[in-house]
Amino acid sequence: MTERRDLMIPGKAGRLSVRVKGVLADAVQIAVLVQGANLSGQAGYDFSFDGGRDYSFMDALVARGIAAVTFSVRGYALSDCPPDPLSIDTDAAIEDLASVVDWLSALGPGAAFQRPHLIGWSWGGRVCARYAETRNDVVNRLVLLDPALGGGNKVPPDPMDAWWSGGWQYFHDRLEPEFSEPGAARALADFVVQNEPRSPNGIRRENARGSTPSNAGQIRRPTLMLYGSAAARQAYMQGGARRADFFEMLDTNDRALIIVPDCGDYAHLQRPRRLLHRHVADFLLAT
């Protein structure tokens, strides 16, 4: 396991929990990894368990020479939570991503600090894409991993509870047994119940009331869209544009659309994860 550094940085709504892997001071390239709706960045991208090999996305990037930074959106894991967890929507997450990018920019003058790569998984794909629409100047290369791009049909019900708890069975079932190694699903479910048993319901309120779609025509950075072959079955993954249409509307000739076989929405934690890691690293290093 790569050595890690955990710290707290200031955000717009309080402190943000950040994890760094790789030596930032010497970094030639840096990737910021943005979480999905149910797990913090630390849990989703740096997962490991006894007997499991090569599950950390962050470690895979560092092994290829890319420093990796992830964080918890406000209200998730150790990050400070505002008074109303239902206020934690995509706009709030974009603010938190901006705080992390600004923090990196202040660390050094090099290109890696001023223009990091962005990787967004599921809801994080929406966050990264919408951030990139207006901040093409500070994004190097963009990876959208099974992105929930926003728009499209509303996804009821509108939650009344401030917090969501999927429970052990929910997370166990997300690692479909036909695509996952023995023990991985149990390890993930055990980890969540012990460490991140609940998450803010703001994103579910947003999906129920109508989300702002990502605008592919405003994204001018090199972009990789990558999907597990069995992904995007859930209603919230069906955005305002089909994946191929969104891909064609990207305002860049440097783009790729890859379907990774035999995996689902949690592809980076399933059997083909090494292939997925390789596709992402190869794309980021193609500069």
- Please give the pLDDT value at position 74: 98
CATH number for the domain that contains residue 149? 3.40.50.1820
Name the domain count of the chain.
1
Cα 140 to Cα 67: distance, rounded to the nearest angstrom: 14
CB 173 within 8 A of CB 265: no
3-class SS at 1?
coil
Determine if the pTM surpasses 0.95: yes
* DSSP class of 266: T
Residues in the chain with pLDDT values less than 70: 1, 232-236
Structure confidence at residue 25 (pLDDT): 84
Instruction: Check if the beta carbon of residue 97 is closer than 8 Å to that of residue 244.
Output: no
Q: What is the model's pLDDT at position 236?
A: 64
Q: Contact at 8 Å (CB) between 161 and 201?
A: yes
Residue indicated by tokens 């093409």: 136
State which residues form the domain around 274. 4-285
* Residue 16, strand partner residues: 9
Instruction: Identify the CA nearest to 86 among candidates 203, 236, 208, 209.
Output: 203
Backbone angles phi and psi of 46, in degrees to 5: -130, 35
Q: What's the first-to-final CA gap in the chain, in angstroms?
A: 27
Q: Which of 81, 75, 62 is nearest to 23 (CA)?
A: 62
**What distance in Å separates the CA atoms of residue 18 and residue 20, rounded to the nearest whole number?**
7
Indicate the DSSP class of residue 268.
Answer: G
